[in-house]
Structure 1
């Protein structure tokens, strides 16, 4: 196993950062890695806002549901689905931007964001930095759009805290589902109930051993209690308002 794979498989979410600022050459390498990710038709339907300003980070932390690690991270990267450049290209060539009206357009930009964000995480962690992904920016998309002055055809998808970890607060690596429940050979194997049962036991034990854990749960109960509702209900409306109509 080479060092790249070791770094990837050793990932854990970091929510406690030191005050040390990330060096500009490291930040530049992370952003360059993000841009190097594959992109559908080379459309590059992704943008990043680099946020260092403390007031802005504090506002985003509140809008994301009260996540203090957004405030404490030296740098917060906001990843955006972005068809604004495509709209400018369409106008330049007297064409109509149609893809943004269809669910395919939303899927394409989401995949582009995910690939770029994944590259950023791998790059950051290879440089000794810690990261944690923030989906909570979609809790208050209206306010995020206004705060960061996002034009039409641009939508906030996810954020990434990056910083030097406080070593004593690095959590244990969270177990993943058994490979047999995730990796299928030739055809999808639907008979995976036993793997979920086993994983529920694994996660319950993991949660019991975490320090200061108030909520002991297994995987299936956590997923069920989250997915029994649309937990970011403003997303559908605000996507449409930003020109990503998902029809």
Structure 2
């Protein structure tokens, strides 16, 4: 494969959850946010907003709401990236047009827009030598997060992003084999079982070495357990409350 500095940056991704005391400059924060703003967006709707959180007390509250993830509190800057149709409602009202966000498509568009923004921001941060981790736990209690951040109707938090200077150097977690996720011309089911078996052996070794033998479960075991129970069922009802999925 060919490579360059951008490819190497992307392919060296690791989640960083421990940060030094060094703070980000206001210029760095604004540059990272600006990189997020230039992410691709569906139909130019730009259905996202970025909440920049530096206040210690507010980060502490968000850490608890996200499942007591302490790195939300200890990172220098925490971002909450939201799906946002509030501005679009205002645009519709301005031109006396009906406002149709009741179908699932608009929820998907908002979530995809937010995810693209977050990834741009993380890559921009890493170009400065920073590290970070995405926080799905921000959806554990979407209503409380929205109240804390004073989010209006037609918005919902999609993910958080911790950023700071790394104070750890974790090994890179292996990804699924190429054959399991990349298909040419059509989906090839015949390679999936073998690829999962191969990956299970790799991840079992990874966890064994990472935890000095305390963990040794395979990827498929982990995923089967994870998907055996509903996850954040309250998210759907909150999204409806905010004006979507009517």
Query: Structure 2 length as normaliser, TM-score?
Result: 0.96
> Aligned runs of 1:144-155 on 2, under 5 Å?
144-155=145-156
Q: What value does the CA root-mean-square deviation take over the aligned residues?
A: 1.2
Corresponding residue for 2:94?
92
Normalising by structure 1, we get a TM-score of 0.96
Which residue of structure 1 lines up, in the alignment, with residue 29 of structure 2?
A: 27
CA distance in 2, matches of 1:18, 1:45: 33
Question: Does 1:240 pair with 2:240?
Answer: yes
Post-superposition shift, 1:216? 3.1
Going from structure 1 to structure 2, the CA distance change for 1:133 and 1:213 (only over 3 Å counts) comes to farther
1:231: which partner in 2?
Answer: 231
Give yes or no for the alignment of 1:193 onto 2:188.
Answer: no
In structure 1, what is the Cα distance between the partners aligned to 2:38 and 2:25? 20
SS in 1 for 2:189: coil
Instruction: Give the structure 2 partner of residue 220 of structure 1.
Output: 220
Match of 1:177 in 2: 176
Does 1:75 find its partner at 2:74? no
Give distance in 2, aligned partners of 1:196 and 1:36.
36
Residues 29-48 of structure 1 mapped to structure 2, 5 A cutoff? 29-48=31-50
Residue 211 of structure 1 and its aligned partner are, at CA, apart by 4.0
- Output the CA distance in 2 between the equivalents of 1:113 and 1:213: 38
The answer on whether the counterparts of 2:84 and 2:110 sit within 8 Å (CA) in structure 1 is yes
Q: How many residue pairs get matched?
A: 243
- Partner of 1:63 in structure 2? 65
Deviations 1:58-113 (A, max 9, x none): 00110111100001100001000000000000000001110x20000011111111
Please give the alpha-carbon distance, in whole angstroms, between the structure 1 residues aligned to 2:210 and 2:242. Answer: 41
Counterpart of 1:209 in 2: which secondary structure?
helix
Long gaps (5+) in structure 2: none
Q: Aligned-pair distance for 1:215? A: 3.9
Q: Which residue of 2 aligns with 1:105?
A: 106
SS at match of 1:49: strand
CA distance in 2, matches of 1:212, 1:140: 34
Q: Which runs of 5+ in 1 are unaligned?
A: none
1:52 and 1:213 map into 2 onto residues whose CA distance is 38
Tell me the secondary structure at the aligned position of residue 62 of structure 2. helix
Q: Is the 8 A contact 2:208 2:214 kept in 1?
A: no
